[in-house]
Amino acid sequence: MNPFPLERPARLAVLASGRGSNLEALLKAFPPDDPLGRVVLVVSDRRQALALQKAVQAGVEAVYIPWPKGGRAQFEEAALQLLQAHRIDLVLLAGFMRLLSPGFVAAWPGRILNIHPSLLPQFPGLHAQRQALKAGVRETGCTVHFVDEGMDTGPIILQRRVPVLPGDTEESLSARILAEEHQAYPEAVRRVLRGEAWPGSRI
C-alpha cells in the first residue's frame, strides 16, 4: 500500500558514490523547512566521495560505509540499520554505482528511487551516455524509476528527453543530460511524496 502522502515532512536518505551533483539538486529542492520532505542522511560506499563533503557542508549527516571486497552483505546490513535508526521514509540513489541485493530492495518496497542517464529501457548499466553515442541515436535523456531487483529495470516515474547533437562527445552529452537530471529527480520525488506515483500505478 502506498504510504504517501505522509502527514508530516518525509525523511529522505540519499545514497551516492561520487560527485554528488544530483545530491546537491535534491538538497536545494528539499531544504530543512520544506513541508513535503527533507534530506536527513547521506550514505556513500566511497570514503572520498564529493557527495559526503557536500552533505557535511549542507549540515546533513554523512556516513561512509565501506563496500567490502567480495560481498555487499556487510554494507547492506549497516545501511539498513542506519536507515531504520534515522526513520527514513524514502531512499534516493543518486549516482550510487552498486547493485543492491533483492533482499535489500524487498525490505523497502516502493521506497527506493534511482536516476539513470538514458531513456530506459534503452542503455541500462554503466556508461549510458557512451552507449547512446555508440548506438547513433538522435535522442536520449534521463529516467527516474522505482528500484526493483534488476539493473535499471523498475517502474518508471518520469523521463526527460535530450537531443544528441552533431559532434557530441561523452562529456558534452553527459553535461546536457545532467542538467535535465537536476530538474527531473526533485520533480519525481515530489510526485512520489504527494502520493501520485507508486509501483504498479502507471502515470
Residues that bind ligand GAR (CB under 6 A): 16, 18-22, 94-95, 115-117, 128, 152, 178, 181
d(Cα 120, Cα 141) in Å, to the nearest integer?
9
Shorter beta-carbon distance to ligand GAR: residue 4 or 143: 143
Q: Which is nearer to ligand GAR, 89 or 181 (CB)?
A: 181
Q: DSSP per residue over 44-86, as a string?
A: ES-TT-HHHHHHHHTT-EEEE----TT-SHHHHHHHHHHHHHT
Shortest Å distance, C-beta 2 to ligand GAR? 25
The residue number whose beta carbon is nearest to ligand GAR equals 95
Active site residue 116: yes
Q: How far is the CB of 195 from ligand GAR (least distance, A)?
A: 25
The residues, ordered by sequence, that sit 6+ positions from 1 with a Cβ below 8 Å of its Cβ are: none
Residues composing the chain: 203
According to DSSP, residue 89 is labeled S
Residue nearer to ligand GAR on the CB measure, 10 or 147: 147
Active-site residues, by number, are: 116
